[in-house]
Amino acid sequence: MYEGFNSYAAEMAIANLISQHRKLKPLRFSTNQLLEVARSHPIGLKRLEAAEPYLKQEYGIPLKNGKIHLIWESLPSSVLLDYAFGIDAVFQYLGWSYGLDITVNVNDLSRKMAKQKKLFPLLKELQFERVGVCLLESGLVDPKEFLTKLPKNEHFCFSL
């Protein structure tokens, strides 16, 4: 792994690949759509509740009484997708909808896979057909290798 290469850099490397590759079509979700699905399931409500303190720190509005108010509908959909659904990248490839949780830490793989299996009912409601974890071991993402290694099953884990 490169010095200074972190999860954010890994997510940006995959985001750049998705935006520039002609065979990968970015998927878009509205914040309201994501909130509706998350709020309709107990696990989604639990994840929103767990994320609220962090989201208030980043996106909250300070009030005169010292409290911080969070307007859920004003959150960026990408942030909500990450905090509520555990997904960092979404795209369509060959007609299949993919959701990826991207990591640079090999020790996180089993925990992230278990989390995604738990969240699969929510992800299915968002029309994801394939969800998995991508371990990015360097800052370089070869598009051909990415497409070749992209698994064809419902739940997966792969590394680049």
Mean pLDDT in residue range 37-49: 96
Of the ranges 1-5, 101-105, 107-111, 131-135, which one carries the lowest mean pLDDT score? 1-5
Residue 133 has a pLDDT of 93
Q: What is the pLDDT of residue 4?
A: 61
What's the whole-model pTM score? Answer: 0.88
Reply yes or no on whether the pLDDT at 1 is more than 70.
Answer: no
Given a contact cutoff of 8 angstroms between Cβ atoms, the answer to whether 55 and 83 are in contact is yes
Mean pLDDT in residue range 69-87: 95
122-133 tens-digit pLDDT:
999 999 999 999
Spatial distance between the Cα atoms of 83 and 81, rounded to a whole number of angstroms: 6
What is the three-state SS of the chain? CCCCCCHHHHHHHHHHHHHHCCCEEECCCCHHHHHHHHHCCHHHHHHHHHHHHHHHHHHCEECCCCCEECCHHHCCHHHHHHHHHCCCEEEEECCEEEEEEEECCHHHHHHHHHHHHHHHHHHHHCCCCEEEEEECCCCCCCHHHHHHHCCCCCEEEEEC
Q: Is the pLDDT of residue 9 over 90?
A: no
| DSSP β-bridge partners for residue 100 | 89, 132
Mean pLDDT for 38-57 is: 96
Enumerate the β-bridge partners of residue 96: 93
Structural tokens at position 35: 């909130």
